[in-house]
Amino acid sequence: MGIGGLAQQAKEYSTNLYIIKTIVQKIRSQGKSIHFHIFGLCSPQYAKAFFETGVSFDGSTHARETFSSNTVLFNNGESLTRCPMHQAARCNCRTCAIARNHRINPKQINNRPASIMRLAHNLNSLLATYHYLSKPKTLYLVAGCGKQTNQKAAAKEVYCSQHFQACRKYAQTQGEWNILSPLHQVLEPEKIISPYDLSPHSLSLKERQQWAQKVARRIMQKANPDTEIVFLTGKLYRKQVIPILKAHKYVIRTPMEGLGIGQQIRWLTDQLSAPKQLELKI
């Protein structure tokens, strides 16, 4: 299903997104399996929302700007920087390097080869921005296990075992993370809780199954199936949760599977101490 007619009011960002999301949610709530495509809205601001909503889109704005205003676009993470062609600094991207090898100067006007290479540069910058925005999200899950403090505190401070702290330090360097709790199911790290005496080992098989259902439901409320779920937990914390998530098409990763407690701590320590590779996004 295509949705168009909104390009003329492209600057009305909130209004347009409200219209689109209302249509998409209304039809999807009826259980209909329909793919949605948005015509004429292609800026990074829209793209970010469209990737989250799960709709495709197109637009010609950035191509038209190449010829109408001689604008050069530069990727800046999740946004684009516009620069008048005559003020643009020397660019070392792959596209511009090819242009120089063929003795083409993208800054020339009224020159077809130069315009084509400038267009290729702009579209390459746009695609780099889309790639940055569409990177799959990852949610790390850490087991709330072992020794606890004796007073109310943020969940990330309540658990104080060496294993939990190692998992916490690693997860914090990777991105978004939550804590799996035998009592609270899924906890935000900053959530204030009181210490408690409960572990998966003290739960019956039926209780663990019920707990797994609640955990999976909470995770699915927090993250869509495009999110990679990484378990930094022991077997009991993930065994019955993973099949539920996989049945709903979630991508699962268990990097420490098969390792003992001591080996897991060593693995986490090695990961934290490994030199970080610098990445230049062009």
pLDDT confidence bin for 163, thresholds 50/70/90: very high
Q: How many CB atoms lie within 10 A of CB 254?
A: 16
With H, G, I as helix, E, B as strand and everything else as coil, classify residue 143.
Answer: strand
With a cut of 90, say whether residue 112 has pLDDT above it: no
Domains of the chain in start order, with CATH, are 2-58 (no CATH), 61-133 (no CATH), 138-273 (3.40.50.10630)
**Mean pLDDT within 91-98:** 82
pTM: 0.53
Q: How many CB atoms lie within 10 A of CB 103?
A: 7
pLDDT confidence bin for 136, thresholds 50/70/90: low
244-282 pLDDT per residue, tens: 999 988 989 999 988 888 999 999 988 887 654 433 343
176-221 pLDDT per residue, tens: 899 999 999 999 989 899 999 888 888 889 999 999 999 999 999 8
